[in-house]
Homo-oligomer: A and B are copies of this chain.
Amino acid sequence: MYCSEAKVEVRYGETDQMGVVYHANYIIYMEVGRVQLMKDLGFVYADLEDIGYVSPVMDLQVSYKAALRYGQTVTVRTWIEKHERVRTTYGYEILHEDGTVAATATSVHALVTKDGLRPVALRKVAPEWDAAYVKAAKQ
């Protein structure tokens, strides 16, 4: 299974008065990780939208383990947990600089037409991308 690594510097505005990264911002880091995984495999999410598709989140799950703080550079490890005909599940591990797990997460994404929001298979829309995902998920 191929695993991508993205580095994210915590931004000041991402903290809250608890002195740690606000929990909703982990969702943003997950997106940074997902985009990096696509890039590592040779694809750019924006291209999908340019040809008329969007990939909305269907389901989200995050387990918070150890709070992230300002001043840290976070590592987001992202992989393809499952790649089905019309939905893809990504897995994530968000890590502190010393390797401690800050959070684990998954997100499930569909692929739909921009106009009409009809589900489509990545295989039909972007066969090479689909093939890369099948391979990355298998490894």
Binding site for B on A (CB under 8 A): 9, 11-13, 15-20, 22-25, 27-28, 31-32, 35, 44-46, 49, 54, 56-64, 67, 70-71
* Contact between B46 and A70, CB atoms less than 8 A apart: yes
A13-B57 Cα distance, complex, nearest whole Å = 12
Instruction: For A67, list chain B residues within 8 Å (CB).
Output: 56
* Contact between B61 and A60, CB atoms less than 8 A apart: yes
Known: A46-B70, A71-B46. A56 touches B64 (CB 8 A): yes
Q: A13-B16, A24-B25, A58-B64 are in contact. List 19 more A-B contacts (CB 8 A).
A: A11-B28, A11-B32, A12-B17, A12-B31, A12-B35, A12-B45, A13-B22, A15-B16, A17-B18, A17-B19, A23-B57, A44-B71, A46-B70, A46-B71, A59-B61, A59-B62, A59-B63, A60-B64, A61-B62
A45-B15 Cα distance, complex, nearest whole Å = 14
Contact of A31 among B11, B19, B59 (CB under 8 A): B11
A57 to B: closest C-beta gap in Å: 4
* Contact between A60 and B23, CB atoms less than 8 A apart: yes
* Contact between B18 and A13, CB atoms less than 8 A apart: no
* Contact between B12 and A70, CB atoms less than 8 A apart: no
